[in-house]
Structure 1
Amino acid sequence: MQAVASVAASRLRPAASCAPRGVLIASSVAESSSRAAQQRQRRRSAVVAAAAAPPGAEPDADEEQPFSFGPPPTVDFEGRPIQPGQIGLIDDPNNYVMTSPDIRADRTGFTPYDLIDFSDIPLKHEVVAKVDRPISEVYALWSERLNWPEWFGMIEELGFMQDSQDVVALNMWYRWAMTPWLELYVALERTHAEQNKYIVEEPVDGAPIVAAVLFQEAEGEPAATLVTLRISYLLPRVLYEFAGTMAVYGDVDRKLQRCMDRMKDWVEACDVAARQADTARQMANIRADLPENLRKQRDYDAQLELQRQRMLQEEQRRQAAEAAAAHTAQAGVAEPAGEAADDGMDVVDAALQEVAADVAAATAATAAAAAEAPPAPAPKKRTKKASSGPVTAGKAATKRGRKKDV
């Protein structure tokens, strides 16, 4: 397993400052670039949070802030005060920025990366920003991946592999309209790069995302740089079904343009030399902590496996107990039910016998009464009554018609 160090980034960003705010090297947690290890890392119980933002920092009005709950902390978990722009740890899982999606799920809901499948519909974006700094300084700041969370608001964490300088793992979040959040993961490898000209990042694991950045001197302005970001990816199927291609394209394009505008403000206000020294020190600490992080990751994986086995055994015992209880209850109910059915049939048979006896008795009584009754007198023979008046023969009917000639 290859260990990487996790870097949590703050969601609140000032308009123009390059102080190392909101970035925390989580030296106590390690993860690999594989999706399985990423999921194990996300299920960790420890909560890592960013430090307080400098005074006057306001969140981007156009960008959603789904993971901020309350004001920034003023003290770390040991009670030491956190000065604006410094780095600190907090142990309150409901305070400020959290890196555990399990906690976020109770508030916003999200779709885990393992449940996201991608369609075959490619989307491509190209956004441009003009930065009033020399091309060498802009390239130097962009090429350092620790700076990416400063302007890419969708990036939550960065991960670095132990034996590869060219691969970085990104944990990101995206949401279209009011649909549930999508958890995105990608491990990008820097496959092509030429100083002060371009950088190409291609995926080696995770989401199918390719990014390329071009650096050009602004025409007629040697001290200005045109930065062109080109991103292509396959549209997640859930977004295609619920939003459609054009809706997602417009939303992502608008958010990328805001990221580039934020990059412009951040780079123009940055002390490049101080920032390079700071990031170099942070990366040195990350690389130095990787062996220890790998050991802790293995211990953590072993604890997870032990917990999984215990839960599996408990579930098997629970199912066996429920099956035994159901079998006992069914056997206990079946016997009384059979006895009740037999009793019911006996009652019905007795009632039928009583009715049959009553019918037989009534029939016998009717027959006895008929036998005892005297016979009925014979009916008199009807005779023709003699007429009391004269008998008149009727005149024979004559046939109507023309008289016949005699």
Structure 2
Amino acid sequence: MSGTTVRRPDVAVTGLGLVTPAGVGVSDTWERVCRGEPTAASDPDLAGLPVDFSCRVRGLEGPKGFERGIGRASWRMGRFVKLAVLAAREAVRDAGLDPGTWDGARVAVVIGCGMGGTHKWEEQCRRLREQGPDLVSPAALPQIIPNMAAGEVSIDLRAHGPSLATSTACASGASALAVARDMLAVGSCDIAVAGGSEAAVSPLTTTAFHRMGALSTRTGDPAAASRPFAADRDGFVMAEGAGVLVLERADDAAARGRRPRALLAGCGTTSDAHHPTAPPDGAPGAEAALRCALRDAGLAPYDIDHVNAHGTSTPLNDATEAALITRALPHRPTVTASKGVLGHALGAAGAIEAALTVLTVEQRRVPPIANLEAPAVEFDIDCVTKQVRQQNVRAAVSSSFGFGGHNVVLVLKEA
């Protein structure tokens, strides 16, 4: 994926599925993101902690919530798995595909996940300590391990091709799309159901990120906490969600009469090999990933009209990313960052943001960055603020960066 100069066939995005704090489904998520309406709110599960708010998926709680959507198998699934199954089902429906009739041996599933069922880990540890081993759930492991999102999606969709889980921290969902594109290019599958899922909002995880200094501490005003590229940004907001895309070779989509929503034209992946959690000065690895993705897509920097930024709302990462955009894309393409609305869904974020970038390309609407009046004065980037901007976006990049030095940049362009 990194360093290659071989042009691969364009890959069509034919289906989208989203389950996010902004809504269950693509339409609800997209409209709230376009309104720039934050989703962060007080979280009862985090009561009493230094950071007691998050961005949660709503509308799936209660005795008939997930069960109504998923069925009897829901009992054995962790929350991150359920989110992935629901998003994958929507994406497949959107693509006009039927798991009951497709050749499942030619369908691959690649779902990224950074952490897995952290809440279940904590719950089952408490049971073991307080109630003894006989009260630990026999379903504990499949509810926890990160690969089960890919595993359960493949079961649900009767997809018998390769099934993989990518884990590159906050770049996991974007990594899944890059891997799926490679699999289509080499003929390992004809259809790839790919994306990311995460439900890691828990007392321990939230406290750990807080202790690192990564989280916003605006406990008095959670809705205003996530503010990418703002001068007074102070950290990200924990979130959950899932984003899944259906990918096919463009020629195959055309043969079945399906018009792509967009094309996944290029991918670039690199490693910083620098530090577990901090980017190096100048972000050379991130820049290399961007230039690799452009080269893979056969595009020049000036061909990019829009950037869906990683935009975590942390002081260091936003400054590093803004400088990268200015240096590598000096013509000032529009910039948005959906974490202002959605918070940071960790391993799912890259896939969710790729789906939103597809919608921007398709609908020619660039969502505003929530809680941002204007970018910090030292940032020379064209952030979209306050309201949707109408723009003909022919090609866009979606950037994702993760702990461990993982850099993934995707190029999406109009079909």
- Larger C-alpha radius of gyration, 1 or 2? 1
Higher RCO by CA contacts (8 Å cutoff, separation 6 or greater): 2
- Fold conserved (TM > 0.5)? no
- In the superposition, the TM-score normalised over structure 2's length comes to 0.22
- In the superposition, the TM-score normalised over structure 1's length comes to 0.23
